[in-house]
Structure 1
Amino acid sequence: MIRFRFALTAAAAALLLAGCAAAEPADAPAEDTPAASDHGAHAGAEETGEPQTAILSVSPGGDAAVLDLLTGDESAIGSVGAPSALASDGRYAFVTTTDGVDIVDGGAWSWDHGDHFHFYRGEPALEGSVPGEGPVAVATPPLSTRGATGLFFSDGTAVALDMAALDEGEIAEWFRLDTGAASGVVAPAGNYAIVAAGDTAVVYDDAGEKTGETADCADPSGAIATRVGTAIGCADGALLATTDAGPVEFERIPYPDDAPRTQGFAGREGRPTVAGLSGESAFWLLDTRTRTWTRTEVDASLTDVAAADDAEASVVALDSDGRVRVFGDDGSERGATEPIADEGSTLVVDAQRAYVSVPSSGTVYEIDYADDARIARKLTPEAGLAFSTVVGR
Structure 2
Amino acid sequence: MKKYKALIAASAAALLLAGCAGNNSASMEEADHDHHDHEHGIEVEEGLTEVSKLERRAVLAVEGGLVTVNLATGEVVNEVKQDGFLRLNQAGDNRHLLVSKGNEFQLFDTGLVAEAHGDHFHYFEGDPKLTDVKFPAEKAGHVTVHDGYTTLFADGDGTFQVVPTEHIKHGTEDAELHKTGDAHHGVAVRLSDGSIFHTEGHPDARSVLRVVNGEKTVAVTEDCPGSHGEATAKPNANGDVVVMGCQNGPFVFKDGQFHKVPVADAYSRSGNLAGHPDSPIVLGDYKVDPNADPVERPTRVALIDTEAVSLKLVELNSAYWFRSLGRGPAGEGLVLTYDGNLNVIDQNTGEVTNRVPVIGEWEEKADWQEPGPILKVNGSWAYITDAVKKELVVVDLTSFEVTKRISLDKPVVEMEIVAGK
TM-score, length-scaled by structure 2: 0.67
Match of 1:354 in 2: 382
Match of 2:170 in 1: 169
Q: How does 1:100-249 map to 2 (within 5 A)?
A: 100-108=104-112, 123=126, 124-127=128-131, 128-134=133-139, 136-142=141-147, 146-153=148-155, 155-164=156-165, 166-172=167-173, 173-177=175-179, 179-190=181-192, 191-198=194-201, 199-203=207-211, 209-216=214-221, 218-219=224-225, 220-228=227-235, 229-235=240-246, 236-240=249-253
Matched, 1:96 2:100: yes
Which region of structure 1 is more displaced relative to structure 2, 284-293 or 295-304? 284-293
Match of 2:58 in 1: 55
Match of 2:89 in 1: 87
What letter matches 1:327 in structure 2? I
For each residue in 1:255-290, what CA deviation from the matched residue of structure 2 results, as whole angstroms up to 9, or x when unmatched? 242342310212557655431111212112234566
Q: Return the offset for 1:321.
A: 4.0
Match of 2:294 in 1: none
Match of 2:69 in 1: 67
Q: Return the offset for 1:370.
A: 4.5
For each residue in 1:296-347, what CA deviation from the matched residue of structure 2 results, as whole angstroms up to 9, or x when unmatched? 2222222244342544x53221223444333334232512315265532221
What letter matches 2:317 in structure 1? D
Contact 2:158–2:186 under 8 Å retained in 1: no
Match of 1:299 in 2: 317
What letter matches 1:239 in structure 2? V
Question: Quick one: distance in 2 between partners of 1:104 and 1:355?
Answer: 20
What letter matches 1:102 in structure 2? Q
The structure number with the bigger radius of gyration is 2
* 1:369/1:339 CA distance change after superposition, 3 Å: farther
Question: Quick one: distance in 2 between partners of 1:275 and 1:266?
Answer: 5
* 1:230/1:359 CA distance change after superposition, 3 Å: farther
User: What secondary structure does 2:184 align onto?
Assistant: coil
Among candidates 23, 28, 31, match of residue 16 of structure 1: 31
What letter matches 2:31 in structure 1? L
Question: Quick one: distance in 1 between partners of 2:309 and 2:112?
Answer: 32
Among candidates 255, 261, 273, match of residue 265 of structure 1: 273
* 1:297/1:131 CA distance change after superposition, 3 Å: same
Contact 2:318–2:337 under 8 Å retained in 1: yes
Question: Quick one: distance in 1 between partners of 2:355 and 2:305?
Answer: 23
Matched, 1:345 2:373: yes
Among candidates 316, 319, 324, match of residue 342 of structure 2: 324
* 1:296/1:91 CA distance change after superposition, 3 Å: farther
Contact 1:266–1:275 under 8 Å retained in 2: yes
Superposition CA RMSD, Å: 3.9
What letter matches 2:253 in structure 1? L
- Count residues with an aligned counterpart: 345
User: What secondary structure does 1:170 align onto?
Assistant: helix
Q: Return the offset for 1:391.
A: 0.8
Among candidates 367, 380, 385, match of residue 407 of structure 2: 380
